[in-house]
Structure 1
Amino acid sequence: MSRLLPPGSQHRRWIQRAGVLLGALTLVGCATVGPDFQRPVVAAPVAWQAAQPHEGTPAALVDWWAQFNDPVLTGLIADADAASPTLAAAAGRIAEARAGLTVSEANRLPAVDGGASVTRSGTERDTPVAARTTGAVAVDSAWEIDLFGRVQRSTEAAEARLAAREFEWHEARVSLAAEVASSYVNYRACRQLQTARADDVVSRTETDRMTGVAMDAGFTAPADGELARASLADARADLEDQRAQCEVNIKALVALVGLPEVTLRERLDGRGNALPVPAAFAVDAVPLQVLSQRPDLAAAEQELAAASADIGVAEANRYPRLSLSGSISLTSVLTGGASTETLPWSIGPALSLPIFNGGARAAEVKAAEARLAQQQAAYTSAVRTAVREVEQAMVTLDSAQRREADARTAVEGYTRFVAATETHWLAGGVSLLSLEEARRSATTAQRKLITLRRDRVLDWISLYKAVGGGWTAPAGDRS
């Protein structure tokens, strides 16, 4: 090795020049390459193009579910939150991202490794040599000097991805709560529809009985008897179909909340089938303020920041790397009764220069830039989706509010009409067909009202989810 270095004073001058070169690289090269992340400008409309809820009031939405005054619903949301595999998977992704950040931060510090060994050696037979014991303890250290910010950019990317995973966990919680609430509301409405259909079956059963008596007495034509039986069979089939739909809703809730079905049924049966009444809330008139509350957009922004930092990592890989390494060891050799010890050590810098790689590192930079462009497109798409979801929820909610009064009036009117028609039918003033048409209209109106009330609650839930579900970004994380 000594023959490779200039002898004497030339050797010392060579070392001095190498030190000057490394020092110059350290001073000149200590700059972080790659773009600094700029928070994207949200391309949100200046104002909503849909009517805002007219009865809402400004309020924090964190405890919105409690305002339903339905302990069964709030309990089911809590159960789902505790047992959801979706949330467990999201929590696992957070832990993975946190471990990745730890690895990136550790690269800022020197790496120190230690080792120890003991060996026994000797020879036998013709030329015996006394056995000897050799013991060694060594410590090695290496530290990369972050000349061009590769480690810093890597840490920035890891921090951004950790934040994105945390925001996604919040989004999963919001989505899960909304899904449980929607399934619960659908179940309650389904039971109301089942009750309405059961009442209709009772009414048609009585009509069939009375028609049969009248037909046996010769006061009613056989055709009326066939009509009454067909109408009753039709109502029974509708009732069975409705019952099956309610059972399907039960199965969906079991899968969501993770409770045994028997336990879930006991909870649901312990409270009537009344729909929960949501508390109205106001939507901020400025779309940008609403969008800043959505955890999915916060996650998309952090993914954008990570992609930006990845460009810096790829760019830094094109430049020299400077590292400082050192080692020290203690070696002890015991031969016979004599012992010798040595303490060798070394320390010095090492410079790695990328000379030729066939354009691979340049291609890695272009690939990172392409991934950033993809993330920018994904962020823009997420913003547009958020605007669409909020405005669609406001449109459907406004429509449901406007239609409910008319639907209620229709039910009341048809109910009175059926009662009057039935009286006339008993008196022989109208045909059974007229009574069935009146009953069919009343049944349809009642189902529409139940469905409309259900949809109104679901629209409030959709709006709650669309505006961020009560989640608020920590101060300073969002603009």
Structure 2
Amino acid sequence: MPLSSHPRFAVFALALLAGCATAPPAQVTREAPPQWQAPLPHEGSGAALSAWWRGQGDVLLADLIDAAQAASPNLATARAQIADARATRVGAGAALLPTLDGNLQASRSSAQPPLPMATVLQGALQARWEADLFGANRAGRDAAEARLAGAQAGWHEARVTLAAETASQYYQLRTCEKLVEVAAADAASRSETARLTSLAADAGFQAPATAALARATTAEGNSRLVQQRASCDIDIKALVALTAMPEAELRRRLQQQPGVLPQEAALRIPALPAAVLAQRPDLARAASELAGAAADIGAADAQRYPRLTLAGSVGAARFRSSTITGSLETWSIGPVALTLPIFDGGRRAANLDAARERYEAAASRYRAAARQAVREVEQALVTLDATARRGEDARVAVEGYSASFAGIEARYRSGLASLLELEEARRIRLTAETALLSLLNERTAAWISLYRAAGGGWDGALTISERTTP
């Protein structure tokens, strides 16, 4: 009898190796500063992230986000990845359980005379189970569960990203509409100035060159208006592509519900960066990938140790011919197989080294994602603080330049100011109004960036079955 098949040798080998367990890698800590360096809006108080979109009071925005989520190929891909990860997890968990297969056979054969033709019917149940002494299958199951959690977090990340993208495009369109109003008012003002200047020139009170200048500025204002309207049309088509909403319906709803840019969109930003990092789905996904890589190390390490499997079967057979009829029942337990890895040319050791390197790479990505998360929040906070401090000055500038333009326009109509003075004042006023709207749009974009950087209200307890807007 070979030594490896002796029962005492098997018991000795199991006792010797039972203490060999795979130790998980050391825990990786996130590289987060103890507190934010940029000032917090509203001292960190305000509405929760998960209710931010609804809290804007803009029904169309919320509907557009819902439509974008329904039409997004990225979300569809994320759902497919969850299905794949769930199937992998089920398969990995099944490796810990016994397998049971059924087998049915029927045959009819004829041998050489004088044996008659015979019919044979057979049925059997076959079972097999691996003891998983050193946790290879358990490590595979843990890795699959971690990657399923990562796929679910990736789905939430896609939702948050899509909501932010849709809101950015929507508020860009609303800003464009405000700029159209400014350009339309400016074009109308230029047209009225040109009309009065033409009348004065016809009466001999203004030089023909002044009338020509007035017509030129009118054409410039009309051109700017056409350009701004075209920009709004482009934004509408971008929203149509993003949400799959029919363009006619989108235009109708835009006209029915005038949009208002959020003036002070309140978000709750905790005092400690770690609290924000804990609610970001991309970091949850990176952490799941790290946990999966750690489990892969355990699975690769366990492959270097013995494997114990047990098999068994039970069956019945029935034989029938013209002269003989009989039945037979069979059962068996075994073989009990103990596989001892002895020499594989370094394959298992190389697989373990590769798993450890993958873990280090996942840890590096996790730390980098944490640093990037802090950076994104800090940048959004800096932009919010800067736009808040610039906002009041921009409003004062618009009011002052508008008053100056009104005074010069009155003087021009009284013949006390030149058209050049009037157009210079008009240009400055237009620049100030455009700058104010651009500043409001920049501040709105910063709020959206903060929403996204702070995790978008994602909660790890949410499941894929929920279809609510982030």
Q: Smaller-chain TM-score range?
A: over 0.9
In the other structure, the counterpart of 2:108 is: 120
Matched, 1:273 2:259: yes
In the other structure, the counterpart of 2:205 is: 219
Shift of 1:34: 3.4
Q: Which of 131, 155, 161 is the equivalent residue of 2:141?
A: 155
**Residue type of the partner of 1:225?**
A
1:472 aligned counterpart, secondary structure: coil
Paired with 1:288 and 1:136, the residues of 2 have a C-alpha distance of 64
In the other structure, the counterpart of 1:261 is: 247
Shift of 1:89: 1.7
Q: Gaps spanning 5+ residues in structure 1: where?
A: 7-13
Q: Which of 309, 330, 351 is the equivalent residue of 1:323?
A: 309
Matched, 1:111 2:99: yes
Matched, 1:345 2:331: yes
Task: Tell me which moved more, 256-265 or 381-390.
Answer: 256-265
Task: Tell me which moved more, 282-291 or 349-358.
Answer: 349-358
Paired with 2:110 and 2:99, the residues of 1 have a C-alpha distance of 36
In the other structure, the counterpart of 1:10 is: none
Does structure 2 retain, via aligned residues, the 8 Å contact 1:34–1:309? no
- 1:377-396 matched pairs, under 5 angstroms: 377-396=364-383
Does structure 1 retain, via aligned residues, the 8 Å contact 2:58–2:259? no
Paired with 1:26 and 1:267, the residues of 2 have a C-alpha distance of 73
In the other structure, the counterpart of 2:223 is: 237
Paired with 2:12 and 2:219, the residues of 1 have a C-alpha distance of 94
Paired with 2:61 and 2:49, the residues of 1 have a C-alpha distance of 16
In the other structure, the counterpart of 1:173 is: 159
- 1:432-443 matched pairs, under 5 angstroms: 432-443=419-430
**Residue type of the partner of 2:341?**
P
In the other structure, the counterpart of 2:358 is: 371
Q: 1:342 to 1:55 in 2, by over 3 A?
A: same
Paired with 1:60 and 1:205, the residues of 2 have a C-alpha distance of 48
**Residue type of the partner of 2:22?**
G
Does structure 1 retain, via aligned residues, the 8 Å contact 2:117–2:321? yes
Does structure 1 retain, via aligned residues, the 8 Å contact 2:377–2:453? yes
Q: Gaps spanning 5+ residues in structure 2: where?
A: 463-470
Q: 1:154 to 1:169 in 2, by over 3 A?
A: same
Matched, 1:96 2:84: yes
Q: How many residues align?
A: 461
In the other structure, the counterpart of 1:249 is: 235
Q: 1:445 to 1:58 in 2, by over 3 A?
A: closer
**Residue type of the partner of 1:188?**
R
In the other structure, the counterpart of 1:292 is: 278
Shift of 1:428: 2.0
Shift of 1:213: 2.1
Does structure 2 retain, via aligned residues, the 8 Å contact 1:143–1:324? yes
Paired with 1:29 and 1:241, the residues of 2 have a C-alpha distance of 78
Shift of 1:345: 2.9
Paired with 1:445 and 1:423, the residues of 2 have a C-alpha distance of 20
Q: 1:32 to 1:109 in 2, by over 3 A?
A: farther
Shift of 1:471: 1.7
Does structure 2 retain, via aligned residues, the 8 Å contact 1:333–1:340? yes
Q: Residue deviations 1:102-148, cap 9 Å, x none?
A: 00000001111111111111147xx4531111111122111111021
**Residue type of the partner of 1:65?**
W
In the other structure, the counterpart of 1:445 is: 432
In the other structure, the counterpart of 2:441 is: 454
**Residue type of the partner of 1:52?**
L
In the other structure, the counterpart of 1:402 is: 389
Does structure 1 retain, via aligned residues, the 8 Å contact 2:103–2:123? yes
Matched, 1:431 2:406: no
**Residue type of the partner of 1:181?**
A
Shift of 1:335: 2.1
In the other structure, the counterpart of 2:39 is: 51
In the other structure, the counterpart of 2:320 is: 334
Q: Which of 58, 66, 77 is the equivalent residue of 1:70?
A: 58
Q: Which of 290, 297, 320 is the equivalent residue of 1:311?
A: 297
1:118 aligned counterpart, secondary structure: strand
Q: Which of 335, 338, 341 is the equivalent residue of 1:354?
A: 341
Shift of 1:474: 4.0
Does structure 2 retain, via aligned residues, the 8 Å contact 1:117–1:135? yes
Does structure 2 retain, via aligned residues, the 8 Å contact 1:35–1:309? no
Paired with 2:414 and 2:195, the residues of 1 have a C-alpha distance of 16
Shift of 1:275: 1.6
Q: 1:221 to 1:375 in 2, by over 3 A?
A: same
Q: Residue deviations 1:358-401, cap 9 Å, x none?
A: 22221111111111111111111101110110000000001111
Task: Tell me which moved more, 97-106 or 132-141.
Answer: 132-141
Does structure 1 retain, via aligned residues, the 8 Å contact 2:277–2:454? yes
Paired with 1:420 and 1:28, the residues of 2 have a C-alpha distance of 98
Task: Tell me which moved more, 231-240 or 80-89.
Answer: 80-89
Question: Identity of paired residues, percent?
Answer: 46
Shift of 1:256: 2.2
1:108 aligned counterpart, secondary structure: coil
Q: Residue deviations 1:322-351, cap 9 Å, x none?
A: 111112222221121421222333322112
Does structure 1 retain, via aligned residues, the 8 Å contact 2:44–2:271? no
**Residue type of the partner of 1:359?**
G
**Residue type of the partner of 2:319?**
V
Does structure 1 retain, via aligned residues, the 8 Å contact 2:121–2:318? yes
Shift of 1:249: 1.2
Does structure 1 retain, via aligned residues, the 8 Å contact 2:48–2:268? no
Matched, 1:131 2:113: no
Paired with 1:286 and 1:389, the residues of 2 have a C-alpha distance of 15
Does structure 1 retain, via aligned residues, the 8 Å contact 2:44–2:270? no
Does structure 2 retain, via aligned residues, the 8 Å contact 1:134–1:331? yes
Q: 1:121 to 1:473 in 2, by over 3 A?
A: closer
TM-score w.r.t. structure 2 length?
0.93
2:129 aligned counterpart, secondary structure: strand
Paired with 1:93 and 1:208, the residues of 2 have a C-alpha distance of 63
Shift of 1:472: 2.8
Does structure 2 retain, via aligned residues, the 8 Å contact 1:77–1:177? yes
Shift of 1:177: 1.4
Shift of 1:235: 1.7
TM-score w.r.t. structure 1 length?
0.91
Shift of 1:78: 2.4
Does structure 1 retain, via aligned residues, the 8 Å contact 2:41–2:385? yes
In the other structure, the counterpart of 1:9 is: none
